[in-house]
């Protein structure tokens, strides 16, 4: 998979030329769709569907985004998830602050073995797992039918570096991490797909 690696300890790296939205992120070509409906993934867990084979099990990032970010609303309960909720006013202020720089549809950026992590995220949101604290505030978005997950591959062991590139770029353009990300990426290496430079 073509891309570039950079060490940010040696100086700044290239970033997106456009404002970072889900449409700017290279999606995986090994799945049928460039993104998945969050509600459809929720139904898989509820109905006990065992197969997640349409989501690759390799290294990559997954990006939760809102189809209509200018109309986003929050709840105080986090559904039936195991999340520690944040005060709705704090979420509203953070979203307003992020949007005042440049409106983005991105709610959360995660990384890892994509199939396992996405499945864990959905199970966490349904109160069936406790092992996906990252992104827990996304479950306070009021209408899950407006949420989608984009999946983007990267070479093995480059998922941390790819996530760091996306999070650093987001913070540079919006003044903070995405709504449901508490911190930035790990390490000093970044990985950038060729079509992002």
Provide the pLDDT for residue 162. Answer: 93
Residue 33 has pLDDT above 50, yes or no: no
| Rounded Cα–Cα distance for residues 103 and 57 (Å) | 31
Cα angle, residue 179 at apex, residues 178 and 181 outer, rounded to 5°:
65
Residue 63 has pLDDT above 90, yes or no: yes
Pick the closest to residue 63 from 137, 167, 139 (CA basis): 167
Residue 21 has pLDDT above 80, yes or no: no
Cα angle, residue 124 at apex, residues 170 and 79 outer, rounded to 5°:
90
Identify each DSSP E strand in 28-156 by its residue range: 35-37, 59-66, 106-113, 147-153
Residue 42 has pLDDT above 80, yes or no: yes
- Residues 6+ positions from 33 with CB-CB distance below 8 Å: none
Task: Count CB neighbours of 112 within 10 A.
Answer: 17
The residues spanned by each domain of the chain are 3-196
Q: What is the pLDDT of residues 97-139, one digit of tens each?
A: 998 888 899 999 999 999 999 999 998 888 888 776 678 899 9
């Amino acid at each position: 998979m073509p891309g570039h690696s950079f060490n940010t300890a040696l100086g700044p790296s290239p970033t997106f030329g456009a404002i970072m939205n889900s449409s700017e992120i290279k999606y995986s070509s090994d799945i049928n769709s460039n993104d998945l409906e969050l509600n459809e993934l929720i139904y898989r867990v509820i109905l006990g569907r065992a197969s997640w084979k349409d989501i690759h099990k390799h290294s990559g990032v997954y990006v939760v985004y809102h189809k209509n970010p200018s109309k986003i609303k929050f709840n105080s309960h986090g559904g039936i998830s195991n999340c520690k909720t944040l005060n709705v006013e704090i979420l509203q202020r953070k979203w307003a602050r992020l949007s005042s720089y440049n409106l983005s549809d991105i709610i959360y950026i995660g990384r890892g073995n994509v199939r396992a992590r996405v499945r864990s995220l959905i199970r966490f949101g349904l109160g069936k797992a406790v092992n996906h604290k990252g992104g827990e505030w996304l479950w306070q978005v009021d209408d899950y039918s407006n949420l989608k997950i984009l999946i983007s591959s990267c070479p093995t062991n480059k998922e941390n570096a790819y996530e760091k590139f996306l999070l650093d770029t987001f913070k540079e353009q919006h003044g903070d991490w995405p709504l449901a990300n508490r911190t930035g990426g790990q390490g000093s290496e970044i990985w950038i797909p060729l079509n992002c430079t």
